[in-house]
Amino acid sequence: MASSIAYASNLALLRGENHHNDDAAVSASSPNALCAAPLNFVRLSNNYRIRRCSRSVGVPRAAAEVVDNRIAEKEEQAVKKRRVLRVGIVCGGPSAERGISLNSARSVLDNIQGEDFHVSCYYIDYNLNAYAISSAQVYSNTPADFDFKLESLAQGFQSLSEFAEHLTTSVDIVFPVIHGRYGEDGGIQELLEEYNIPFVGTGSNECRQAFDKYDASLELSKQGFITVPNFLVQGNEGNEYELSKWFSRNQLDPYSGKVVVKPARAGSSIGVKVAYGVLDSLTKADEIISEGIDDKVLIEIFLEGGSEFTAIVLDVGSGLDCHPVVLLPTEVELQFHGSVDITEKDAIFNYRRKYLPTQQVAYHTPPRFPIDVIETIREGASLLFQRLGLRDFARIDGWFLPNSVHMSSSSESKFGRTELGNIIFTDINLISGMEQTSFLFQQSSKVGFSHSNILRTIIYRACLRFPNLASFSSGSSHLPRRSKSAQISKAFSINESTRKVFVIFGGDTSERQVSLMSGTNVWLNLQAFDDLEVTPCLLAPTSEFVSGVDSNNKESDVSSRTVWSLPYSLVLRHTTEEVIAACMEAIEPARAALTSQLRNKVIDNLMEGLTKHSWFTGFDIADEPPRRFSLEQWIKLAKEVQATVFIAVHGGIGEDGTLQSLLEAARVPYTGPGVISSKTCMDKVATSLALNHLATRGVLTINKDVWRKEDLIKMPILGIWHDLTSKLQCETLCIKPARDGCSTGVARLCCAKDLEVYVKALDDCLLRIPSNSLSKAHGMIEMPNLPPDQLIFEPFIETDEIIVSSKSMNENGHHLMWRGRSRWVEITVGVIGKRGSMHSLSPSITIKETGDILSLEEKFQGGTGINLTPPPLSIISKEALERCKEYIELIANTLQLEGFSRIDAFVNVDSGEVLIIEVNTVPGMTPSTVLIHQALSEQPPVYPHQFFRMLLDLASERST
């Protein structure tokens, strides 16, 4: 009954009812208070308690977040009474990593908010203009989502000085999360120092030296560390003669010697290139300079045969005393599967490999190095942290070169020489990435810190340097709402006080990496609730990587599939393959013993400093192994402990009704639509047939022609092309798998040659079609694995390009450019509710940055892609938008959807008519997915943890 009340109230709020009822507001001092401004956006049932999220203090509210002044004043008084620490997160910046900065800010916001912290959010744009933004804005996919409308959404400051003056009265301490320029080069730190504003991290002078790779290299050499031989190119001073002499000194062929060319001041990933010989090196250096990345470029020896590593350093000292402890380092392994060209074999750990899910990178924590090497890495990183005057935390990258790898050096007495090889530190990251699965969290969880615990430890440590903040670090317990130790054991026992939730993700399809991101995000968000015991579970791929399009598996075969129940630290990976490898490592006796030995040593080192601080009350992650089940055993366990299953498996058995059928048979409640709806929506042809009769009611379908893969491979391409264009009466085609995810294998074909390229990719079982392989420019096309048995051809729907312009592009201001000759635009929209009464969220207009088809990463990965939520009135009128939402609800109810789903379509901006593309019954739930944007655009906004809780409650409603 309680969950029924909660759902009814939540849905009423989603529909815009009773927004301004003051009775809905929760007192700021109440333990049941909810997240951010306003405090009354969701009434939740009284049978559970949520950890209170912070609300922004001193931050102007967008129209969607305006709060009653009286409530704000009461909260302000409560803040002063409780001595809540006011933290200002500053993100964005001028570098190409500003999208990643936004992801980091969102992660920090999610994990430090609580009754004892108030968080204000600030954004620095490309031109170093500062804005106070709402916390809702931090959940945007990329700065481009809101850059063009900042002036209407946020409070802008006339200057950085005015911004700093605002900070002096509005926050107690600043947490800069700007990566690259202005964040790590000392810029923001210098501003804060000038105004005596306490902040987390290293001081401006030390940042400046450590951030510049050339200056840092000189200092490291001076301090006795081995360094990589390098050559500096500055401005237009590229000297071919001097570079040739450098090549000779380092025994490199001047015509083919392999080197790395990288900006000296642009973070660890941006603009890094591989070059061959003197001329190619200078050309690559000129490219970096001409692209405006940096006017100072380093050319370094390519460390062939070495193993890259990265290590987080945490300072656990007191006051100005530095006590650095290096956590368990991570080995970065580049992997290449199948045939790759020479450029791939020479690939480096670049921006895409660092931040986007890819099978080309695997991480090992701790490294697979001899224990003496690992200890030398830890010793060296600690020494470097101290000698460079770093503070609070940092990430230090480097290489281990076995003795078999020769590298010339001027001295044999340098630090890093071991009997087994050389250790070289190459990059110092003053503000490490803080996305959900970043190295910071991977390494800290290995030694017992949850996300919240490590971030709060860093903040409290920073407070110790400032006398006026000493009281915040004295006697405050900063542990999360409850210890997460032995979570797997708790999840498998009956406990009346907590409700069990199994979040399942992974699977076989090409969307399995997105599924991992979705499941991780759901798991982390649901942990905000005291009455939930949430366990992350990985559905392992079958041994032969059967594609999700193959539905011929017998149910008995499906039931024998493997499910891993995961401890905290093993979830934090970029790919499902990594998770499984980590599971196998964790249960391998020798590897497990080594990890335990190193973990215990790191914990001992940490405790030497942390035990001196009254605010530290212990670690909250247990060191436990994963548990392995068959799918049948796992479902039986879910039944025994009365768990609700949150399905985050995209495609395959997670979306075609198979998993739903197994759970229904065991009477285990689950999220999302039922068996029949799932099966219908997975088949794009069946979806169209189910909606054909709605043509007179404003819902249109696209003509389709289905072909078997074998026929495409065997028959003449030109004949197929003429047959298709004649039958579908179009010149350009869209091809997609008949039963797979929403982005996998989707391509625009403009000619028979394009079809030939695509069919060859199917025949060769390619994992991806490289960018610009077809006649019209496009991004990388991820392909199903294995290839689908059936493919759909449709007319390609032409729409006018929508361009988002910011001041960095157009000095006249921020605006949208759209010609509107075609009256159709592409949208994606979430629906939520019970069967027969689904509610449409606000649609998002999707903008493609490369080509005509949204890539997987543009849809789901933060830092890429642009979504306009809600659609601007300059494109679609309010009346047409409301009719569009009515049609979307008609589609959802006709297909008997329930829980939640996402519908992709084209909408006519004049009539609101909808041309359906497809329906996703297990949509992406990553931190930056459009569903999050759409929930936040509701009146009042629904924040991610509450959105996922609503979906969970809907699952329980269906089971009663």
- pLDDT score of 411 more than 80: no
- pLDDT score of 270 more than 80: no
Helix, strand, or coil (residue 276): strand
Burial 291-305 (b: 16+ CB within 10 A, else e): eebbbbbbbbbbbee
Q: What is the pLDDT of residues 714-733, one digit of tens each?
A: 999 999 999 999 999 999 99
Measured between alpha carbons, how far is residue 419 from residues 306, 380, 915 in Å?
A: 15, 15, 67
For every residue of 197-251, which 3-state class applies, written as one string?
CCECCCCHHHHHHHHCHHHHHHHHHHCCECCCCEEEEECCCCCHHHHHHHHHHCC
pLDDT of residue 42: 37
CB 275 within 8 A of CB 299: yes
Q: What is the pLDDT of residues 429-484, one digit of tens each?
A: 999 999 999 999 999 999 999 999 999 999 999 999 998 998 887 655 444 444 44
CB 393 within 8 A of CB 440: yes
Fold matches, 209-405+413-464 and 690-700+818-921: yes
- pLDDT score of 403 more than 60: yes
The residue extents of the domains of the chain are 85-201, 209-405+413-464, 497-542+560-671, 690-700+818-921, 705-795
Question: Is the pTM value of this prediction over 0.75?
Answer: yes
> Selecting from 3.30.470.20, 3.30.565.10, 3.40.50.720, 3.40.50.740, what CATH number does the domain 690-700+818-921 have?
3.30.470.20
Q: What is the pLDDT of residues 890-932, one digit of tens each?
A: 999 999 999 999 999 999 999 999 999 999 999 999 988 889 9
pLDDT of residue 303: 86
Helix (H) or strand (E) holding 830: strand 824-834
- pLDDT score of 489 more than 70: no
Q: Nearest 10 degrees: CA dihedral of 455, 460, 461, 464?
A: 160
Confidence band (pLDDT; 50, 70, 90) for 249?
very high
Helix, strand, or coil (residue 361): strand
> What gap in Å lies between CA 343 and CA 341, rounded to an integer?
6
For every residue of 105-156, which 3-state class applies, written as one string?
HHHHHHHHCECCEEEEEEEECCCCCEEEECHHHHHCCCHHHCHHHHHHHCEE
Confidence band (pLDDT; 50, 70, 90) for 82?
low
> What gap in Å lies between CA 930 and CA 101, rounded to an integer?
19
Confidence band (pLDDT; 50, 70, 90) for 267?
low
Task: Determine the CATH number of domain 497-542+560-671.
Answer: 3.40.50.20
pLDDT of residue 52: 34
Task: Determine the CATH number of domain 209-405+413-464.
Answer: 3.30.470.20
Helical axes 187-194 vs 160-170, angle rounded to 10°? 60
Q: What is the pLDDT of residues 589-640, one digit of tens each?
A: 999 999 999 999 999 999 999 999 988 889 988 888 999 999 999 999 999 9
- pLDDT score of 257 more than 50: yes
Measured between alpha carbons, how far is residue 371 from residues 383, 470, 570, 587 in Å?
A: 18, 39, 21, 19
Q: Tell me what the pLDDT averaged over the chain comes to.
A: 82
Helix, strand, or coil (residue 99): helix
Percent with pLDDT over 90 in the chain: 58
Average pLDDT over residues 138-161: 85
Which top CATH class is 85-201?
alpha beta
Q: Nearest 10 degrees: CA dihedral of 549, 553, 557, 562?
A: 0
Among the residue ranges 1-15, 131-145, 677-691, 930-944, the one predicted with the least confidence is: 1-15
> What gap in Å lies between CA 299 and CA 450, rounded to an integer?
39
Q: Which residues contact 610 (CB under 8 A, 6 or more apart)?
A: 316, 457, 616
Residue among 738, 504, 484 at smallest CA distance from 622: 484
